[in-house]
Amino acid sequence: MGNAWASIKFLLIAGVGLFGDGYLNITIGLVVPILGYLYYDDNKNKVPTIPQDVIKGALSIGMIFGQIGFGLFGDALGRHKIYGKELILTITGTLLLILMPWHNFGHTGVVAWMFCFRFVTGVGIGGDYPMTSSLSAEKNLFRSRAKLVLLVFASIGLGGFTGGIVNLVLLAAFKGAVYNNVYHLQWVWRLQFGLGLVPLALTLYARLTMKESKPYQQYVATETGLVGKDVRGLKQQFEDFRVYFRNWKHARTLFAVSAAWFLFDIAFYGVNLNQSVILTKIGYGKGPDPWTTLWNTAVGNIIASSAGYLPGYYVAIFLPDYMGRVRQQWVGSAIVAVLYAIWAGVTKHTSTGGLITLFTLSQFFLNAGPNATTFLLPVEVFPTRVRGTAHGIAAASGKAGAVLTAFAFGTITDRIGIQGVLALFSGIMALCALVTLMIPETKGLSIAQIESGELYGEHEGVAALTPGSETSSDEARLDWDHKEGGASTVKEKDAV
């Protein structure tokens, strides 16, 4: 019973930050059309393409800084010293966003305010990626690293789905008020963001007081003040990073996981940040009045999410230990490339039902395949000393792709149409599948084996890569297995 409660507690604490990512990130696609009715009545109630791209891309830009910064400090100073600080930034940025002036606010002011405070929110959400992923990978709650990491990661999907439900509920609650005066949509978008902060605030203290992970204590903590003298800092972290990645095999893997995430996020956020645009194109956004248009978009979003988006996250949890991480990512990317190609070819000649089916299938395979594995692989293929830093770099590369698509989607769509954009996404996902083949498979390997370099056939151990380590690879592996209750490395490998 105690272990079950510990597992549930960790999932709640770790998952809430990523829940906020899904909720606050995907929700912007539903909020931007509302801002059009409120602040752009002189532009046919629509936010122009470039300001729209700036608003949508702000959070991803902030996430790049958060992912790299928190990943670096999490490795240098310890997970327990950094965890929770990212949640403070997320809460602060979103609260300030909600406080945007209600009256007499021009177009430039709206865009500047939204960009500034979604950027701050993004730094916090971005910091959650390397911190939560590292802690999840370094726990041993389910005797399957992949299941725990991806169960926590699925909180993003739950957050996105919840955001759609909340949007629908708020629109229903304010229906009469909006019909009476469209200005009451102010309450809808502000409450939309505000309600998403409740679970984050409830778990903040638990994050700030979370203990250090056992692998970090064993492999790194002798230099962080937990054991012995406090001598570790950014200088030592940079040196560890330099020493580890001067090996071309390690550097190639970092490039591959980063490139795959970059390519994937171009397609993923191209669709998800612009759901209102895509749903309008396939018949779920048009209406005779503002409320009906927003309602149709919200309904279409929930249909797509419940049928493909959210199920994909949870199906993905069970695939890595069955088919392998690399194969899961390759197959998912290839299938989505084919689906986007088909979607591009039939867009003008298919019914709304057919188009929503293609949308749903592509969402399912995106999330059951590369969306999960681009998060999982960077936290598995690198040892503890550089795990957070490397995951942060890979995640930041992904967000660079999200930024690119956020700023380019509207402009490119205006020029080549949704059909051309889907064809472009198809080619990008095919390239993602090819890059995936450069990544080594981590299925069946324990944390200790990854530490010792067995992933690359090196069998050197951390001691060979980082000066000052006094534990040999074999001793470290046996010690870790003993502490976590595993009978042996071989048995753990077979169990996975």
* Digit-coded pLDDT (tens) for 296-312: 888 877 877 777 788 99
The CATH code of the domain at 9-213+231-443 is: 1.20.1250.20
Q: List the domain boundaries for the chain.
A: 9-213+231-443
- The DSSP element (H or E) to which 163 belongs, if any, is helix 155-173
pLDDT value for 3: 65
Distance CA(352)–CA(344), nearest Å, equals 14
Q: In this predicted model, what pLDDT tens digit does every residue of 437-463 receive, in sequence order? A: 999 999 988 888 888 888 887 765 443
What is residue 52's predicted lDDT score, i.e. its pLDDT?
A: 85
Structure pTM? 0.86
Give yes or no for residue 88 having a pLDDT over 80: yes
First and final C-alpha spacing in the chain: 23
Q: Residue 466 pLDDT > 70, yes or no?
A: no
Residue 85: pLDDT above 80? yes
Range with lowest mean pLDDT among 210-214, 399-403, 404-408:
404-408
Q: Which two tokens stand for residue 263?
A: 């390519």
Is 347 or 204 the better-scoring residue by pLDDT? 204
> How many whole angstroms separate alpha carbon 316 and alpha carbon 149?
11
Q: Which two tokens stand for residue 257?
A: 């996981």
Measured on CA atoms in the order 466, 472, 473, 477, is the torsion positive or negative? negative
| The token pair that represents 38 in the structure block | 């409120």
